[in-house]
Amino acid sequence: MTAAPDLSPGTLPLRPELVGLEPYGAPQLDVPVPLNVNENPYPPSEEVVADVAAAVAGATRGLNRYPDRDFADLRADLAAYLEVESGVHREPEQMWAANGSNEIMLHLLQAFGGPGRTALSFAPTYSMYPEYARDTSTAWVMGRRAEDFTLDPESARATVAEHRPSVVLLASPNNPTGTALPLDTVRAVLDAASRVPGGCVVVVDEAYGEFRRAGTPSALELLADHPHLAVTRTMSKAFGLAGARVGYLSASRELVDALRVVRLPYHLSAVTQAVARAALRHAPQLMAQVGSLRAERDALVAWLRDHGFVAADSDANFVLFGTFDDRHAVWQGLLDRGVLVRVTGPEGWLRVSVGTPAETSAFKDALVEVTGR
What does the DSSP 8-state code read for residue 27? -
Considering the rule CB under 6 A, would residue 165 count as an interface residue with ligand PMP? Answer: no
Q: What is the DSSP string of 249-260?
A: EEE-HHHHHHHH
How far is the C-alpha of 223 from the C-alpha of 91, rounded, in Å? 12
Contact range with ligand PMP by CB under 6 A, out of 9-17, 94-102, 253-261, 277-285? 94-102
Q: What is the closest distance, in whole angstroms, from the C-beta atom of residue 84 to ligand PMP in the complex? A: 20
Task: Please say which residue, 38 or 360, places its beta carbon nearer to ligand PMP.
Answer: 38
Considering the rule CB under 6 A, would residue 121 count as an interface residue with ligand PMP? Answer: no
Q: What is the closest distance, in whole angstroms, from the C-beta atom of residue 13 to ligand PMP in the complex? A: 29
Binding pattern for the stretch 231-270 against ligand PMP, x by CB under 6 A and - elsewhere: ---x-x-----x----x-----------------------
How far is the C-alpha of 57 from the C-alpha of 178, rounded, in Å? 38
Considering the rule CB under 6 A, would residue 207 count as an interface residue with ligand PMP? Answer: yes
Considering the rule CB under 6 A, would residue 293 count as an interface residue with ligand PMP? Answer: no
Considering the rule CB under 6 A, would residue 315 count as an interface residue with ligand PMP? Answer: no
Task: Please say which residue, 40 or 236, places its beta carbon nearer to ligand PMP.
Answer: 236
Question: By three-state DSSP, how is residue 81 classified?
Answer: helix
How far does the chain reach from its first CA to its final CA, in angstroms?
66
Contact range with ligand PMP by CB under 6 A, out of 42-50, 95-103, 146-154, 359-367? 95-103
- Give the residue, chosen from 102, 136, 166, 317, that forms a contact with ligand PMP under the rule CB under 6 A: 102
Give, in order, the Cα–Cα distances in Å from 52 to each of 59, 243, 372: 10, 13, 46
How far is the C-alpha of 173 from the C-alpha of 205, rounded, in Å? 8
Which residues of the shown chain bind ligand PMP in the complex (CB under 6 A)? Answer: 38, 100-102, 126, 171, 175, 205, 207, 234, 236, 242, 247
